[in-house]
Structure 1
Amino acid sequence: MSTPQAALSTDAIAHAGHSNQFALLTQRRFGPFFWVQFLGAGNDNVFKFAFTVLVTYQLQVQWLPASMAGLVIGALFILPFLLFSATSGQLADKYPKEVLIRFVKNLEIAIMLLAGWGFMQQHVPMLLFCVFLMGLHSTLFGPVKFAYLPQHLSERELIGGNGMVEMGTFVAILLGNVAGGLLIALPLVGPSYVAAACLLLALLGRALAQAVPVSPATDPALRINWNPFTETWRNLQLAHGNVVVFRSLLGISWMWFFGAVFLSQFPAFAHDVLRGNEQVASLLLVVFSVGIGAGALLCEVLSRRHVEIGLVPLGAIGMTVFSVDLYFAAKGVPPSTAVLTLGQFLAEPAHWRVLADLGLLSLFAGIYSVPMYALIQMRSQPTHRARIIAANNILNALFMIASSLLAGALLAAGFSIAELFLIVGLANAVVAGYIFLLVPEYLLRFVAWAASRFVYRFQVRGDERIPTGGAAVLVCNHVSFVDAVLLMAASPRPIRFVMDHRIFQVPVLGWLFRLAKAIPIAPQKEDPAVYEAAFREVAHTLRAGDLVGIFPEGAITRDGQLKPFKGGIMKILETAKADGLPEVPVIPMALTHLWGSFFSRIEVVNGKHQAMVRPFRRGMFSRVGLNVGDAVKAEDVTPEGLRERVAGLLD
């Protein structure tokens, strides 16, 4: 089975141990690419915002009223995403990405020369045409941008790399809007300065693009389908083929729906609800952009540098909580008949709650989106990755259009802006819950993430030895009822656990393991049918290239000591070999310091060893660990040898 790691550069592997995501900026495989995309996003917004201000405040264009200018410019920019995303996805799979990046930057220079003439002549039709062309420029760059990252970053770097890109994009949007507004407002020379700035940014981006390293085509034999409509449908079907990836696309598109509602209402919210001037509206944009960027950067810390989709439910919860509180904060804003300056606005304590809610809901939106982008990159087939991302861009555009229509309809129906925010916040809870029920992996990872950080202080050593692609069997000692949960938290991928059928009768944990699609097994003498069915399901799982987790002791220890390993591992490997999988590696693992915790069978009640008797027996946040050993080849595996390896990891 193909994996993202198959396309990784040796440079990515060599530098996988860097200190943090900011260190990526010093490396050629990421630094030039980051600044190219940063300058491109900034240039888009310098141009668009300057043009919007020009036709709103400085020119009187009868056929383009000031009240419609922003809507028309936004629609023209997003139209190419609907028309050409499918084609751009094919190009990004067929051709080397460094070649496409340089082509796109050449196109940007040509567009900015036309736009410069349009600004100098104040030729509105030409500038509108350039808006469409810049939308085309961004459409071509989108699939390249997100398909580039997994070619040059390891699994442990994807979260940090995506967080940097997300942060850079929103900072560039913010700076671009500020620069565009300031430059166009300069008396007499404003249009000339905007033209020069846009051309300079395009030239600088093209110079940096020359330093982007070689990024080979992932499907050079692909035949381009130039029909955007049939190819769009084909891309959506391609994405739908992987349930987890497709639901993640929908989740990201919902985030853009959610964010577009807030971004589109900032001017009216600042003026009508907060009674602030244009500077207050700009402050809302600043807080929102900084919040998104901060949330994106936090993902690497919160995920321990893995693609941790358990952060997605955390982000969804925060988005809903602070959207709802924003409604109540807006209701508590004191009335004002005068329009407030920025200083007057900040002097009112009630306004700080509004800013806090806005900043926190955007921070959680950043936490919500980055793991989804990384998951799509990691789980998509490399040969189709850019087309999957193109499908994401199509869905994003459709969801943003839908958000504009829904917001307009609700406001026209008499709902206030604060009520609109409340409705979107509550809808976010419903949508997120629906996605998590469709794809339980998100919820399971959240439970595992929370348990490993808020119930225990969980430290993993050797986690890089857990395969990020391909079939493998994980073998671990069995200390407590939450062993599987902790292994989930340590693994970058889902694990199908083989578990005693009686565990499914335990309240809560049984439901959790059924949700995780754990494989029930019974002793052969007790239930031969369940026994054989378990091994058939294990074989099917390994054949699909997934991870299987087993506890070879057969039961949770009652005295904290490692018991003899049973022979089930040998039957698993024999079945895999018979299925044509002779090279399935076995990964020994050892949970440490877990004996004596609430979920271990340390308590003796009426002569029986029981767990979950005294909740705070070891207090809160007790330290536990997981040590991961080197993989063992299938032909070298014996139960006794594996037990010795696991015992050697118990320190």
Structure 2
Amino acid sequence: MPHPDPVRLLSRRFLPYFLTQALGAFNDNAFRFSVMFMLTYRISTDESVNVDVLMNLAAGLFILPFLLFSPMAGHLTDRVDQARLARILKGTELALMCLAGVGFWLQSVPLLLALVFLMGTQSAWFGPLKYAIMPRHIPADHLMRANGWVTASTFVAILGGTLTGGLLAAAGEMAALWASLVVIAVAIAGVIAARLIPAAPALDTVSSPAGPIRSWYLNWRLLRRQPAALHQAMWLISWFWFVGAGYLTQFPRFSREWLGLGADGATGLLALFALSIGAGGLAVGYLSSGRPRLGLAPFASLGVAVAALDWYLAASVVGQSPSLLRIGLDIAATGFFAGMLVVPLYSYLQTRTTASRRARIIALLNVQNALAMVVSSLLGMVLFAWFDIQLPTFFLLFGGSGLLVSLMLWWKWRGLRPGSAGARGHP
């Protein structure tokens, strides 16, 4: 009798986890952008407040915990029941969101910024668990589909949380109340979903507890012993977040300055990009044989580069308005190829790491991803401030880096054949 597909949305082994991580991603962004919009449009009326400084501080406070605490979080995640840890972390999120309600009501900048840091810390602790627990309940030949759904839900949640944060912060005198109710309600739903995740007992019963500094040392020593193909998969995932962070940051400005679109139009392009990533992830998950391979990576990264080139050409036509349809297709193609790239990579990482050490490897990947997004932001500031580049050139440089990635992968994998000793771990 064939085994039922455990990735159907109503499966007990998938649905509670799926909802838990999706609701968490939504709340992260809804809360963070509620704070940032409120700082911009309401608290900024205080002339003693430097809004630009506060906005950058809020962004930095959210990403900093991923650099500080991810290794320790990965170390702990391998040593405890991961379903129980999920319930603890979701309970922590609920407590933080209740405090956020107080911060919104009082419009307390110090309290809200402190909570941004604490929510980043909660997310940093949940990050290793998010991908480490999936292979505990999902068979290996279904991981591609599961990761396709998780990738799609993550970007839909990012988009939904961002839009919700903006709408709540613009709700006038009722903004504080509505923002509080939404983030608390979503946190409660996450707590309920986490309670239904099946048990995932500890796999590492040997390692001793490790603090922030020792966990960094132990995890990096573990990473050095991993095969080269695993390192390549991790760097490719970080490249995905590097490019994605740069694109998402500049979409609103590009929509306004180059396409003449209002806020709704910019939102539409953001939605198109996010949904296209999800569509690419789902497509590769369902069209593949279920076995994650790195062989798609050179083609997917090349696809991102080709789309970036056509995007640049379409936006740089002299004397004509850029074709919205053509640029929309380029954005959709970029997202689709990016989704095709990242889903097999995460699946490969999950299947090629030892189960008792998987969370620690994913934790280090989260550190890399955080650094990639920081570098993306810094590079964007340098390109615009020092080199005075135009936005189409920015997208060409960021997306066009996919050509270098593709050539590098083909050069590294040249001559490798499936089944050969040198091809182990490669396509």
TM band (smaller chain): over 0.9
CA offset digits 1:576-595 (Å, max 9, x no partner): xxxxxxxxxxxxxxxxxxxx
Cross-structure match for 1:294: 279
- 8 Å contact from structure 1 (residues 333, 351) kept in 2: no
**1:183 matches 2:107:** no
- 8 Å contact from structure 2 (residues 105, 177) kept in 1: yes
Cross-structure match for 2:352: 379
CA RMSD of aligned residues (A): 2.2
Q: CA 1:241–1:260 in structure 2 vs 1: closer, same or farther (change >3 Å)?
A: same
Q: CA deviation at 1:333?
A: 8.1
Cross-structure match for 1:414: 388
**1:496 matches 2:420:** yes
- 8 Å contact from structure 2 (residues 69, 212) kept in 1: no
Pairing partner for 1:390 from 363, 366, 377:
363
Inter-partner Cα distance in structure 1 for 2:122 and 2:319: 45
Inter-partner Cα distance in structure 2 for 1:315 and 1:129: 39
Pairing partner for 1:368 from 335, 338, 341:
341
Cross-structure match for 2:18: 34
Amino acid at match of 1:415: I
Cross-structure match for 2:158: 173
Cross-structure match for 1:527: none
Inter-partner Cα distance in structure 2 for 1:334 and 1:290: 32
1:376-455 mapped onto 2 (5 Å cutoff)? 376-412=349-385, 413-438=387-412
CA offset digits 1:267-292 (Å, max 9, x no partner): 22122222222222212211111111
1:208-219 mapped onto 2 (5 Å cutoff)? 208-219=193-204
- 8 Å contact from structure 2 (residues 151, 281) kept in 1: yes
Amino acid at match of 2:14: F
Q: CA 1:131–1:334 in structure 2 vs 1: closer, same or farther (change >3 Å)?
A: farther
Inter-partner Cα distance in structure 2 for 1:156 and 1:379: 13
Give the match's secondary structure for 1:328: helix
Higher helix content, 1 or 2? 2
Cross-structure match for 1:249: 234
Amino acid at match of 2:394: L
Give the match's secondary structure for 2:133: helix
Inter-partner Cα distance in structure 2 for 1:333 and 1:224: 62
Q: CA 1:438–1:118 in structure 2 vs 1: closer, same or farther (change >3 Å)?
A: same
Unaligned runs of 5+ in 1: 1-13, 337-348, 445-484, 489-494, 498-514, 518-545, 548-651
Q: CA 1:36–1:166 in structure 2 vs 1: closer, same or farther (change >3 Å)?
A: same
Higher strand content, 1 or 2? 1
CA offset digits 1:584-611 (Å, max 9, x no partner): xxxxxxxxxxxxxxxxxxxxxxxxxxxx
Inter-partner Cα distance in structure 2 for 1:291 and 1:434: 26
Amino acid at match of 1:397: A
Q: CA deviation at 1:62?
A: 4.5
Cross-structure match for 1:58: 42
Select between 200-209 and 308-317 the one with higher mean Cα deviation.
308-317
Cross-structure match for 2:30: 46
Q: CA 1:335–1:121 in structure 2 vs 1: closer, same or farther (change >3 Å)?
A: farther
Give the match's secondary structure for 1:188: helix
Q: CA deviation at 1:143?
A: 0.5
Cross-structure match for 1:93: 78
- 8 Å contact from structure 1 (residues 115, 195) kept in 2: yes
CA offset digits 1:237-263 (Å, max 9, x no partner): 322322111111111001111111101
Give the match's secondary structure for 1:94: coil
- TM-score normalised by structure 1 residue count: 0.62
Unaligned runs of 5+ in 2: none
- 8 Å contact from structure 1 (residues 163, 296) kept in 2: yes
Cross-structure match for 2:310: 325
The higher relative CO (CA closer than 8 Å, separation ≥ 6) is in 2
Greater Rg over alpha carbons, structure: 1
Inter-partner Cα distance in structure 2 for 1:280 and 1:328: 21
Amino acid at match of 1:113: C
Amino acid at match of 1:400: M
% identical equivalent positions = 36
1:245-284 mapped onto 2 (5 Å cutoff)? 245-284=230-269
Q: CA 1:164–1:64 in structure 2 vs 1: closer, same or farther (change >3 Å)?
A: farther
Q: CA 1:54–1:89 in structure 2 vs 1: closer, same or farther (change >3 Å)?
A: same
